[in-house]
């Protein structure tokens, strides 16, 4: 039986490894077979019960908030999400860390049995196969990578992820990944770029959310997901997470 998650056998792993070694980041284009990428894209667009993730600032005691699909659609939940989103915008206006995007956290869904034996649980299993982790090890040169977490993410118009560095080294985070599954013709004007910054806040590189591409970058390093424009016709869709050494 054909797998849901098949890697492209034609990837030039040595060349990708050289790029990562030089820049500590790389975008792997056409990472999956075409049919695999299309199927996963369809799962995310049509078969995902999106909740919401919001953070409004980075001060003491401020933590990210998360709502499940049913909670977002309940009257009380809708009010809470809207209030949190407004707080996030205010925090961003003050230059503080904030974000707002739709998500479906794979690990929480598995642990809390949201959809037992569902397709999202299968996707998490594939992210932890020797094949996918082996690709990550080959490109990054980090042999200790042995586990991946993950979530489906959807950055709809007016959503974003503020500048941060992913400094959770104590939790085993070594490499962040973004498996992009947005529409093929994603236009630069729509935003949603993964942007890397230097110490002065200048942009040193940006990756378009190109369909069927895998972004890998060592953490910590300063980055953000740029604001998705109000006129963007559809959201930036991806599977994101961290590759860990513990």
The CATH number given to whatever domain includes residue 165 is: 2.60.120.620
Domain membership flag for residue 83 = no
**Domain count of the fold of the chain:** 1
Confidence of residue 29 (pLDDT cuts 50, 70, 90): very high
Which of these, 188, 197, 184, lies nearest to 237 by C-alpha position? 184
Ramachandran assignment for 182, one of left (phi > 0), alpha (psi -120 to 50 degrees), beta (any other):
beta
Domain membership flag for residue 71 = no
Domain membership flag for residue 2 = no
* Alpha helices for 4-162 (secondary structure H): 13-23, 34-46, 69-73, 75-93, 106-111, 119-127, 130-140
Full residue range of the structural domain in which residue 18 is found: 13-51+101-244
pTM for this one?
A: 0.96
Domain membership flag for residue 27 = yes
Find how far residue 201's CA is from the centre of its chain.
22
- Find the largest Cα–Cα distance for the chain: 53
Domain membership flag for residue 75 = no
Domain membership flag for residue 6 = no
pLDDT tens-digit map of 105-154: 999 999 999 999 999 999 999 999 999 999 999 999 999 999 999 999 99
Confidence of residue 2 (pLDDT cuts 50, 70, 90): low
Domain membership flag for residue 202 = yes
Please calculate the CA angle 180-185-187 and round it to the nearest 5 degrees. 90
Res. 1: pLDDT tops 50: no
Domain membership flag for residue 191 = yes
Mean per-residue pLDDT of the chain:
96
């Amino acid at each position: 039986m054909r797998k849901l998650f098949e890697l492209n056998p034609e990837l030039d792993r040595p060349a990708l490894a050289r790029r990562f070694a030089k820049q500590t980041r790389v975008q792997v284009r056409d990472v999956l077979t075409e049919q695999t990428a299309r199927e996963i894209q369809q799962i995310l667009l049509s078969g995902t019960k999106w909740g919401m993730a919001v953070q409004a600032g980075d001060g003491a005691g401020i933590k990210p908030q998360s709502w499940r699909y049913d909670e977002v659609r309940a009257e009380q939940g809708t009010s809470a999400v809207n209030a949190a989103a407004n707080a996030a915008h205010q925090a961003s206006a003050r230059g503080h860390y904030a974000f707002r995007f739709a998500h479906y956290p794979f690990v929480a869904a598995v642990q809390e049995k949201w959809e037992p034996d569902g397709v999202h649980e299968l996707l998490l299993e594939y992210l932890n196969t020797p094949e996918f982790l082996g690709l990550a090890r080959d490109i990054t040169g980090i042999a200790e990578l042995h586990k991946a977490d993950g979530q489906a993410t959807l950055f709809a118009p007016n959503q974003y992820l503020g500048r941060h560095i992913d400094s959770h080294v104590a939790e085993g985070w070594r490499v962040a990944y973004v498996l992009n599954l947005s529409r093929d013709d994603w236009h630069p004007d729509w935003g949603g770029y993964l942007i890397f910054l230097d110490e002065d806040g200048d942009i040193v590189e940006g990756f378009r959310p190109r369909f069927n591409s895998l972004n890998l970058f060592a953490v910590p390093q300063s980055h953000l997901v740029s604001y998705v424009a109000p006129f963007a016709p559809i959201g930036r869709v991806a599977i994101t997470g961290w590759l860990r050494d513990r």
